A and B are shown apart, each in its own frame.
Chain A
């Protein structure tokens, strides 16, 4: 790979919430790459993202993100500087409800705004202009002065995207950004996300295979805490996905009663689709 690496994982071991461990022998993602991570529930996708955002630390191995080693805890100052460069967008990344849309977007520039302006929400005019431009590019300019609790789910996600534009991060981590949206809104949010990540590295976790070509040119499949495949988007086909989501590989819990079995089946179904 000719591009410099934005992310480098070497022999990383990290406990997940469940019984498994995330084990990554080697993973390198270059600057400006667009990568999608797929896999069944509990495969370690979210843990991988949390590793990359510095939320958890590996118990073993090398982890370098944007030239910063995250093996040791960063100082508060370094952590804030690191967070400025990493933009996150999630299914449950809520805006602050009582603030207006514009104020929520301006939160994106808090990382580089110091002093009283960041505390009193009196941002410098240049940042306000930038925020308005960001809102215009996601098509929410009309609602700039509305309070965010009056917005729909898709609009809220667009506010989060505008905030991301405002933040200008070098690495964007998107954890199921479209999970709560209808197909049309999901598609729109994905397109905006790709536009927003121009020049930055975009790593997204998605469940819907239809969105893969929109979001990524490289797909990493995860299974049981390990990387099952790492292919360019053109090489990913139905058989790959079938192998990844194979039904009998899903860890089964012995049903306790009829009811729990029913929910277990539903769960399996939702994993498959």
Chain B
């Protein structure tokens, strides 16, 4: 009786303590924010919001059809400096956008594949049920943890310094960071293997390769493919930002648009990103469902 009461009591008290701890943490964060006078929305938040939103609401790609074909740039005294065909300029921009999208997709695809290939041996070494020697296992796990905890952007910044600006830095950055996630997923897929089923196949006198192809492969392959699709999709999202640090692609256009305050162009780029990510997401979800 006393055991039960004390256990319930300790459980409740523990949860209460955790809740209080969390509440005090949040309170601490808020208090320091206010104390440093960081909790502000700027001078004219509403006005700025309306302006930005109205520019966002008119994405620049509309100019291809509705742009002014004779946009005149005049100096203060009225002389015409330059006449621009907005439609032609925007069409040109869209071509650049298409090639940037392809660059981003390429970075994500090659980076994911490289990450998966790098992670496979590490994942196998980390899986608990395969019982690799302890030091090797810890080393592999440590490598994966380090890779996972360093952000793609940080990897990218370092790699741009090593291999220079361009797609290669982006591919390597994606590969190194997602290697950590891949390794974890692979190890988990291997750990959920039904060892009894493998033992059963072995017990009919099958050779090790037969055991691998008849029991291990069919159980592990769908999970590998599905985690690959998942991380690939994640990397497409991730690689759009890599251009910001000089790896090329959509991120470059984002920096360009934001530094020139061209919210209309940023809106176009974001629409492309949303379309790219959501269509890939829909596709990969279908494939994963078919595989499970």
Q: Could you list which residues of chain A lie within 8 angstroms of chain B, going by C-beta atoms? A: 53, 80-88, 92-99, 107-111, 113, 118-121, 160, 163, 167, 257-259
On whether A107 and B214 interact (CB within 8 A), knowing A97-B219, A258-B3, the answer reads yes
Q: In the complex, how many angstroms separate the beta carbon of A87 from the nearest chain B beta carbon?
A: 8
Q: Are A88 and B197 in contact (CB under 8 A)?
A: no
Q: Are A110 and B205 in contact (CB under 8 A)?
A: yes
- Would you mind naming 17 contact pairs between A and B with Cβ atoms under 8 Å apart? A80-B205, A80-B206, A85-B205, A88-B200, A94-B196, A96-B197, A96-B218, A97-B219, A98-B218, A99-B218, A107-B201, A108-B204, A110-B204, A110-B214, A113-B210, A163-B204, A257-B3
B259 at the interface (CB under 8 A from A): no
B209 at the interface (CB under 8 A from A): yes
The 5 closest A-B pairs by CB, nearest first: A111-B205, A84-B205, A83-B205, A110-B206, A94-B197
B222 at the interface (CB under 8 A from A): yes
Other CB < 8 Å A-B pairs besides A88-B200, A96-B197, A110-B205, 10 of them?
A: A80-B206, A83-B203, A86-B203, A94-B194, A97-B194, A97-B197, A108-B204, A121-B213, A121-B214, A160-B200
* Complex-state Cα separation, A83 to B211, whole angstroms: 13
* Complex-state Cα separation, A80 to B203, whole angstroms: 8
Q: In the complex, how many angstroms separate the beta carbon of A109 from the nearest chain B beta carbon?
A: 8
B207 at the interface (CB under 8 A from A): yes
Q: In the complex, how many angstroms separate the beta carbon of B89 from the nearest chain A beta carbon?
A: 55
Most buried by A among B215, B219, B222: B215
B202 at the interface (CB under 8 A from A): yes
Q: Mark B168-212, 1 if CB is under 8 A from A, else 0.
A: 000000000000000000000000001011011111111101100
Q: Are B196 and A80 in contact (CB under 8 A)?
A: no
Q: Are A93 and B210 in contact (CB under 8 A)?
A: no
Q: Are A96 and B206 in contact (CB under 8 A)?
A: no
* Complex-state Cα separation, A205 to B190, whole angstroms: 32
Kindly list chain A residues whose C-beta atoms are within 8 Å of the C-beta of B197: 94-97
Kindly list chain A residues whose C-beta atoms are within 8 Å of the C-beta of B201: 96, 107, 110
* Complex-state Cα separation, A109 to B215, whole angstroms: 14
* Complex-state Cα separation, A84 to B203, whole angstroms: 8
Q: In the complex, how many angstroms separate the beta carbon of B198 from the nearest chain A beta carbon?
A: 8
Q: Are A259 and B3 in contact (CB under 8 A)?
A: yes
Residue among A81, A118, A163 making CB contact with B210, cutoff 8 Å: A118
- Tell me the nearest residue of chain B to A117, going by C-beta: B210
Q: In the complex, how many angstroms separate the beta carbon of A170 from the nearest chain B beta carbon?
A: 12
Q: Are B204 and A96 in contact (CB under 8 A)?
A: no
On whether A119 and B218 interact (CB within 8 A), knowing A83-B203, A84-B204, the answer reads no
On whether A98 and B214 interact (CB within 8 A), knowing A110-B205, A110-B206, A163-B204, the answer reads no
* Complex-state Cα separation, A107 to B215, whole angstroms: 9
Q: In the complex, how many angstroms separate the beta carbon of B221 from the nearest chain A beta carbon?
A: 9
Kindly list chain B residues whose C-beta atoms are within 8 Å of the C-beta of A85: 205
* Complex-state Cα separation, A53 to B199, whole angstroms: 12
Q: Are B213 and A119 in contact (CB under 8 A)?
A: yes
Kindly list chain A residues whose C-beta atoms are within 8 Å of the C-beta of B196: 92-94
- Tell me the nearest residue of chain A to B211, going by C-beta: A110
- Tell me the nearest residue of chain A to B201, going by C-beta: A107
Q: Are A111 and B206 in contact (CB under 8 A)?
A: yes
Q: Are B204 and A111 in contact (CB under 8 A)?
A: yes
* Complex-state Cα separation, A132 to B246, whole angstroms: 62
Kindly list chain B residues whose C-beta atoms are within 8 Å of the C-beta of A99: 214, 218
On whether A98 and B219 interact (CB within 8 A), knowing A119-B210, A121-B214, the answer reads yes
Q: Mark B69-110, 1 if CB is under 8 A from A, else 0.
A: 000000000000000000000000000000000000000000
Kindly list chain B residues whose C-beta atoms are within 8 Å of the C-beta of A257: 3
Q: In the complex, how many angstroms separate the beta carbon of A120 from the nearest chain B beta carbon?
A: 7
Kindly list chain B residues whose C-beta atoms are within 8 Å of the C-beta of A167: 204-205
Q: Are B202 and A83 in contact (CB under 8 A)?
A: yes
Kindly list chain B residues whose C-beta atoms are within 8 Å of the C-beta of A82: 205
Kindly list chain A residues whose C-beta atoms are within 8 Å of the C-beta of B213: 118-121
Residue among B3, B200, B205, B209 making CB contact with A95, cutoff 8 Å: B200
* Complex-state Cα separation, A238 to B182, whole angstroms: 60
* Complex-state Cα separation, A120 to B121, whole angstroms: 24
Q: Mark B237-253, 1 if CB is under 8 A from A, else 0.
A: 00000000000000000
Q: Are B210 and A94 in contact (CB under 8 A)?
A: no
Kindly list chain A residues whose C-beta atoms are within 8 Å of the C-beta of B222: 98
Most buried by B among A86, A93, A107, A258: A107
- Tell me the nearest residue of chain A to B199, going by C-beta: A93
Q: Are A96 and B202 in contact (CB under 8 A)?
A: no
Kindly list chain B residues whose C-beta atoms are within 8 Å of the C-beta of A108: 204
Q: In the complex, how many angstroms separate the beta carbon of A270 from the nearest chain B beta carbon?
A: 22
Q: Are A96 and B203 in contact (CB under 8 A)?
A: no
Kindly list chain A residues whose C-beta atoms are within 8 Å of the C-beta of B200: 88, 93-96, 107, 160
* Complex-state Cα separation, A44 to B218, whole angstroms: 35
Q: In the complex, how many angstroms separate the beta carbon of A42 from the nearest chain B beta carbon?
A: 21
Kindly list chain A residues whose C-beta atoms are within 8 Å of the C-beta of B3: 257-259
Q: Are B194 and A107 in contact (CB under 8 A)?
A: no
Interface residues in B22-69 by Cβ distance below 8 A to A read none
* Complex-state Cα separation, A119 to B206, whole angstroms: 10
* Complex-state Cα separation, A194 to B214, whole angstroms: 28
Kindly list chain B residues whose C-beta atoms are within 8 Å of the C-beta of A92: 196
Q: Are B219 and A107 in contact (CB under 8 A)?
A: no
